Amino acid sequence: MTKASDIRTKTADELSDELLKLKKEQFNLRFQKATGQLDNTARVRQIRRDIARVKTVQAQKAASAAKAK
C-alpha cells in the first residue's frame, strides 16, 4: 500500500504510469477472483484505494496548475 505523501512527490507522468500499473493489477485480480484463484482478497481493496489516492493527487495537481495560470 502506498502513502499519499509518496504519491505527491511523483510527477504527472509517473502518476499516469502508476495508475496504469494499478489498473492492470486490478484487472488481473478480477480475473483471479472469477476463476477462483484469488488467495489474498484484501488486495482487491488495497488496489482500489491506491487507485483512488493516485486519482486524488492527480486532480489536486491539475487544480493547483490551473490556479497558478
Indicate whether 1 pLDDT > 70. Answer: no
Whether residue 15 contacts residue 57, with contact meaning beta carbons closer than 8 Å, is answered with: yes
Distance CA 69, CA 49 (A): 31
pLDDT in tens, 5-63: 899 999 999 999 999 999 999 999 999 999 999 999 999 999 999 999 999 999 999 99
Task: Evaluate the CA torsion angle 39, 42, 45, 50 in order and state its sign.
Answer: negative
Cell, residue 43: 488486495
Return the residue matching grid coordinates 472469477: 34
